[in-house]
């Protein structure tokens, strides 16, 4: 089958004053893959991610999402197109239950703002019942049923991460961007998180693009893995191939 890219980064650069943080990077994320992005500190990973996610535009180059040029589009516009990024549960959401947190995620039906629904109470009630059911399905999938009525602020670190992942499942995401999702999560919970990412990928068909420092997690989840160093993409392969490549070992694993 032909390569089916969800994201294509074409010759993208980003300059911060005199610093070329990302230098003519090209890469692709294949539909259905869990693609990893690794590299030493300062390699340009977050800068590249921020451009893909619409946090700021590239200095030059193009970013294509599902065949559409999205260069310069803002995060909320990308959200509508189906590109989601996990975020830490904001402080103001910590006083809502896990279930309510999921129900807060905007629905996927364009044009149905709360105001228009407000004038159609019956439709609004149906919509709320649908959203609640979807939230319950997500809770079920992530095996969070026992804490669904707990305040999000009282959940463990790992449960919060699962809830963050759950929020991406409330809309029909074409791709989920994960930025250092393992940071601060203990090994057992990390295992849980990884298992759920795998299930979302295999059972539900989600595509993931992942920046991660935890090499065990990258090795377990990601194929392919793209390596950046000094603002450039220097290699792509599975983790075994990369670990066997002397140039990568030198540039990244420190020889
Ligand atoms: P990584 O995520 O791989 O560690 P970054 O993308 O965060 O790398 O950073 C790449 C380079 O760009 C670094 O030298 C960093 O200091 C610089 N940089 C990142 N963001 C900014 C910014 N907003 N302004 C100026 N320099 C930045
Ligand atoms: Mg970074």
71-107 pLDDT, tens digit per residue, is 999 998 998 899 988 766 666 588 899 999 999 876 5
**Average confidence (pLDDT) over 134-147:** 94
| Domains in the chain with CATH codes | 1-82+173-255 (3.40.50.300), 92-167 (no CATH)
Pairwise pLDDT comparison (157 vs 223), residue with the higher score:
223
Question: Residue 231 CA: which ligand 1 atom is closest?
Answer: 10
- Look at residue 192 in the predicted model and tell me its pLDDT: 86
User: Ligand 1 pocket: which residues have CB below 6 Å?
Assistant: 16, 19, 21, 39, 41-47
Using the structure block, give the residue that is written with the tokens 């451009």. Answer: 51
Mean pLDDT of the chain: 88
Question: Residue 22 CA: which ligand 1 atom is closest?
Answer: 10
The question of ipTM being above 0.95 is answered as: yes
Q: What φ, ψ does residue 21 adopt, rounded to 5°?
A: -75, -35
**Worst-scoring range by mean pLDDT, 62-66, 207-211, 237-241, 245-249?**
245-249
Residue 109 exposed, middle or buried by CB count within 10 Å (0-12, 13-18, 19+): exposed
- 183 CA to centre of ligand 2 in angstroms: 12
Pairwise pLDDT comparison (14 vs 86), residue with the higher score:
14
Q: Is 143 left (phi over 0), alpha (psi -120 to 50) or beta?
A: left
- Residue 34 reports pLDDT greater than 70: yes
- Residue 111 reports pLDDT greater than 50: no
Which of 12, 15, 19, 21 is the pocket-test mutation for ligand 1 (most atoms within 8 Å of CB)?
Answer: 21
**Average confidence (pLDDT) over 16-40:** 96
């Amino acid at each position: 089958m032909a390569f089916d890219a969800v994201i294509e980064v074409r010759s993208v650069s980003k300059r911060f004053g005199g610093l070329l943080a990302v230098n003519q990077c090209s890469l692709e994320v294949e539909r259905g893959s869990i693609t990893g992005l690794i590299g030493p500190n300062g390699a340009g990973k977050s800068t590249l991610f921020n451009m893909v996610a619409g946090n700021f535009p590239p200095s030059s180059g193009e970013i294509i999402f599902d065949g559409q040029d999205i260069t310069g589009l803002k995060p909320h516009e990308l959200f509508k197109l189906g590109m989601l990024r996990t975020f830490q549960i904001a402080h103001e959401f910590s006083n809502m239950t896990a279930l309510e947190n999921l129900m807060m995620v905007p629905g996927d039906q364009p044009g149905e703002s709360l105001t228009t629904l407000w004038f159609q109470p019956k439709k609004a009630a149906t919509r709320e019942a649908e959203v609640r059911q979807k939230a319950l399905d997500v809770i079920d999938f992530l095996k969070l049923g026992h804490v669904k009525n707990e305040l999000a602020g009282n959940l463990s670190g790992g449960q919060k991460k699962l809830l963050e992942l759950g929020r991406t499942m409330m809309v029909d995401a074409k791709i989920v961007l994960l930025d250092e999702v393992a940071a601060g999560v203990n090994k057992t919970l990390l295992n849980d998180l990884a298992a759920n990412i795998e299930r979302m990928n295999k059972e539900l068909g989600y595509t993931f693009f992942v920046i991660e420092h935890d090499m065990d997690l990258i090795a377990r989840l990601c194929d392919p893995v793209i390596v950046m160093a000094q603002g450039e993409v220097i290699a792509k392969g599975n983790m075994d191939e990369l670990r066997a490549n002397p140039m990568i070992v030198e540039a990244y694993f420190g020889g």
